[in-house]
């Protein structure tokens, strides 16, 4: 069974630009969560989608948004990029319950210059 | 807001010794506590989890304990091996008001096992 796939693996963007990251979950998984990982901060929860609906959101500004498609693939968008947005962005898919195992993708490393 | 504190941030042990990582959470609605291991350059992977109706769970050399009253849970690794060297994350998950869930992670513990 294929794992969680994130594209692209690496991105370099300029301040003020916007970026879109993609996540393809494991087949049959309907929940996709997004996290921002920075050194010393661990994984910070961005949002969770299930059946094309955002069910929960973390404490990030409105510049961070996402969506989920009918095939459960999800995208995350960051507008008006800031230097502090440089991080590894991870998505995780699961069957959808709060106590089901989450499987992570390899992440997209975003560098804002 | 919800918070998970994890200690220590760095832990160095001799091969064969035990390692203990402790976490404290703030959201009393948290009911699921997974632990993830992230090796250098790799994705986090679940190593063990515990639900709120259980006080302790063991899987070979790894065990987790949970004290819901104190909002405290710990990871215990016995007979450590060099391949246990990685960053370990604790997490606390709770249902959201919309039926979804939110998982809050600790900042991570970098474990070094010296051969």
A51: left (phi over 0), alpha (psi -120 to 50) or beta: left
Q: Could you tell me if A35 lies within 8 Å of chain B, comparing CB atoms?
A: yes
Predicted pLDDT at A1:
64
Q: How far, in Å, CA of A59 to CA of A42, rounded?
A: 15
CA distance B17 to chain A (A): 26
Chain B: residue nearest A46 by CA?
Answer: B102
> For A37-55, what is the HEC assignment?
EECCCEEEEEEEEECCEEE
- If chain B, 115 residues long, is cut into consecutive pieces of 10 residues, what is the mean pLDDT of each piece? 90 98 94 95 94 91 96 97 97 79 90 96
Predicted pLDDT at B74:
98
Chain B: residue nearest A94 by CA?
Answer: B101
Interval A23-80: pLDDT, tens = 999 999 999 999 999 987 789 999 999 999 998 888 999 999 999 999 999 999 999 9
Of B49, B99, B105, the CB nearest to A42: B105
- Contact: A41, B107; criterion CB under 8 Å: yes
């Amino acid at each position: 069974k294929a794992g969680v796939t994130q594209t692209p693996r690496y991105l370099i963007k300029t301040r003020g630009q916007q970026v879109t990251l993609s996540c393809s979950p494991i087949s049959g998984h309907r929940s996709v969560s997004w996290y921002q990982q920075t050194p010393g901060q661990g994984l910070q929860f961005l949002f969770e989608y299930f059946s094309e609906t955002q069910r929960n959101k973390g404490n990030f500004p409105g510049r961070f948004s996402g969506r989920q498609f009918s095939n459960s693939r999800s995208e995350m968008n960051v507008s008006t990029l800031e230097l502090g947005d440089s991080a590894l962005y991870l998505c995780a898919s699961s069957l959808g319950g709060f106590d089901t195992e989450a499987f992570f993708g390899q992440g997209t490393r975003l560098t804002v210059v | 807001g919800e918070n998970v504190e994890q200690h220590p941030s760095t832990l160095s042990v001799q091969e064969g010794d035990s390692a203990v990582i402790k976490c404290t959470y703030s959201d009393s609605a948290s009911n699921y506590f997974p632990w993830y291991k992230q090796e250098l350059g790799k994705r986090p992977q679940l190593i063990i989890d515990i639900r709120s109706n259980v006080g302790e769970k063991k899987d070979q050399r790894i065990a987790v304990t949970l004290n819901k009253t104190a909002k405290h849970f710990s990871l215990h690794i016995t007979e450590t091996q060099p391949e246990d060297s990685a960053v370990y994350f604790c997490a606390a998950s709770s249902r959201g008001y919309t039926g979804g869930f939110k998982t809050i992670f600790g900042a991570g513990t970098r474990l070094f096992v010296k051969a």
